[in-house]
Chain A
Amino acid sequence: DGGITQSPKYLFRKEGQNVTLSCEQNLNHDAMYWYRQDPGQGLRLIYYSQIVNDFQKGDIAEGYSVSREKKESFPLTVTSAQKNPTAFYLCASSDRTGGVVAKNIQYFGAGTRLSVL
């Protein structure tokens, strides 16, 4: 099946620890995204990547890092600098964005729920 796979589904972080969330897609999409969702709120963009070996900060990038070494993979690291990491993290992908007309559809994974011990 084509889609976006996020792992693990649940993750626990200790104080001072870095943790990495996995996101893999087999849709052959160029662009990938990471969002954070807090309870009762909408999604906020952390980082996005339009092409391999390139990525840009979103609205709330502080305390997070990403890499894009392969087209199908876009892992997110939650560093110890992120003081409030407890949230639901969502990965998405789309065909490459660009041009004036925006009609690229983003497809989402099932999410990773991160909690602090």
Chain B
Amino acid sequence: DAKTTQPPSMDCAEGRAANLPCNHSTISGNEYVYWYRQIHSQGPQYIIHGLKNNETNEMASLIITEDRKSSTLILPHATLRDTAVYYCIVRDGGNKLVFGAGTILRVKS
């Protein structure tokens, strides 16, 4: 079972920041938080991951709370092409990514 909880859907205006929340209250010390997204009928695309510090790359920023029980993925300037299902995944040393239902992000003009 997925170890994360995400809202089923969110809307965002084009050009605005999209903030996608994720709860992972049972996360343990050595488990990373990963974010992937999946555009319809394509393979999932890796976005970002982190352990305890906030992370930023060319796609997004990841903010992890100090107690590590929740995190937020930030797309700073959402475009229509960012419309997708976003998955938050907590991964331990195992070999599989356990995908939950994710959040459908709809970016609207």
Binding site for B on A (CB under 8 A): 4, 6, 31, 33, 40-45, 48, 50, 56, 58-59, 88, 90, 92, 97-103, 105-111, 113
Task: Determine how close the nearest CB of chain A comes to the CB of B5; give it in whole angstroms.
Answer: 13
Interface size, chain B (Cβ < 8 Å): 26
B21 sits at the interface (CB 8 A): no
For this complex, 7 residue pairs linking A to B, each with C-beta atoms less than 8 Å apart, are: A4-B43, A33-B95, A42-B98, A45-B95, A90-B43, A101-B93, A107-B46
Q: How far is the CA of A111 from the CA of B43 in the complex (A)?
A: 6
Binding site for A on B (CB under 8 A): 2, 30-32, 34, 41-46, 49, 51, 87, 91-102
Residues of A within 8 A of B46 (CB): 105-107
Q: How far is the CA of A88 from the CA of B39 in the complex (A)?
A: 13
Partner of B49, one of A33, A48, A105, A113: A105
Q: Assess the B41–A99 pair: CB atoms within 8 A.
A: no
Task: Determine how close the nearest CB of chain A comes to the CB of B48; give it in whole angstroms.
Answer: 10
Q: Assess the B95–A97 pair: CB atoms within 8 A.
A: yes
Task: Determine how close the nearest CB of chain A comes to the CB of B58; give it in whole angstroms.
Answer: 15
Q: Assess the A42–B99 pair: CB atoms within 8 A.
A: yes
Q: Assess the B93–A98 pair: CB atoms within 8 A.
A: yes
With contacts A42-B99, A98-B93 taken as known, whether A108 is within 8 angstroms of B44 at the C-beta atoms is yes
Q: Which residue of B lies closest to A110 (CB)?
A: B43
Residues of A within 8 A of B92 (CB): 102
Residues of B within 8 A of A42 (CB): 2, 87, 98-102
Residues of A within 8 A of B94 (CB): 97, 102
Task: Determine how close the nearest CB of chain A comes to the CB of B105; give it in whole angstroms.
Answer: 16
Q: Assess the B97–A106 pair: CB atoms within 8 A.
A: yes
Q: Which residue of A lies closest to B100 (CB)?
A: A42
Residues of A within 8 A of B31 (CB): 102
Q: Assess the B49–A103 pair: CB atoms within 8 A.
A: yes
